[in-house]
Each structure stands twice: as structure tokens, then as C-alpha cells.
């Protein structure tokens, strides 16, 4: 993307990426996170997914993990929607654990 796409048309401020640019254009209480509605009313937050992939662009293993988790979620929603809640729960717990080893190691090293 070129810099003009990340530039606010009103104030001229230039942002690092399109996500920051769009966030800037929204009102303080607004959020833009388009979603895909899955069976049983679950929603795949496509905007959050794209932000996540962008955030991990320099970490191919994380991008692979996010892509696989998303694909598994979509497959489960289509073929076995009654188990989707458990799959999503497991992924949330798993994603919360990402990087915890490094964070714990850093915390222990700082305490020495």
C-alpha cells in the first residue's frame, strides 16, 4: 500500500498501516470489525482476523497457526456446529498461552 492510502483525508496525518488509518477515522465509540455469521450464531470476526495476520506478518509460524485455527473453526461450524463452542474455547485458551513461555522466562530473568 502506498502512503496516501494511510493518510487521513481530513487532517493529513499519515499512519503506519491502514488499520490505524481507519481507526483514526472512526468516532471514539465506534468499532469496525466486519463479521461472517457462522451456524449457531457464532461470528468469525474477519476484521480482527486480518489485523492478527498483519500483526504476525513477520512470524510465519504464527500466521500458519492462525490460518489453521480459522480453517478448523470454519470446517467445524459447517460440519459439526454443535461442537463449535468447545473448539472455539480450546483455541481461545491456546491463543492465550502463545508467548507465555517467553514472558515467564523474561519475568524470571528480570527477578534475578
**pTM of this structure:** 0.69
Element (H, E) at 43: strand 43-45
Please give the Cα distance from 58 to 77 (Å, whole number).
29
Element (H, E) at 102: helix 100-111
Q: pLDDT per residue over 44-95, tens digit each?
A: 889 999 999 999 999 999 899 889 888 888 888 888 877 777 766 666 655 5
Give yes or no for residue 98 having a pLDDT over 60: no
Q: What cell was used for 75?
A: 470446517
pLDDT of residue 92: 62
Please give the Cα distance from 85 to 65 (Å, whole number).
19
Amino acid at each position: 500500500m502506498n502512503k496516501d492510502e494511510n493518510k487521513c483525508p481530513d487532517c493529513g496525518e499519515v499512519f503506519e498501516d491502514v488499520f490505524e488509518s481507519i481507526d483514526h477515522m472512526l468516532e471514539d465509540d465506534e468499532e469496525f470489525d466486519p463479521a461472517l455469521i457462522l451456524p449457531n450464531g457464532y461470528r468469525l470476526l474477519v476484521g480482527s482476523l486480518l489485523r492478527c495476520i498483519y500483526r504476525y506478518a513477520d512470524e510465519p509460524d504464527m500466521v500458519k497457526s492462525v490460518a489453521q485455527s480459522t480453517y478448523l473453526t470454519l470446517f467445524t461450524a459447517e460440519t459439526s456446529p454443535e461442537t463449535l463452542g468447545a473448539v472455539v474455547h480450546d483455541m481461545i485458551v491456546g491463543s492465550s498461552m502463545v508467548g507465555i513461555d517467553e514472558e515467564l522466562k523474561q519475568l524470571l530473568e528480570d527477578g534475578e
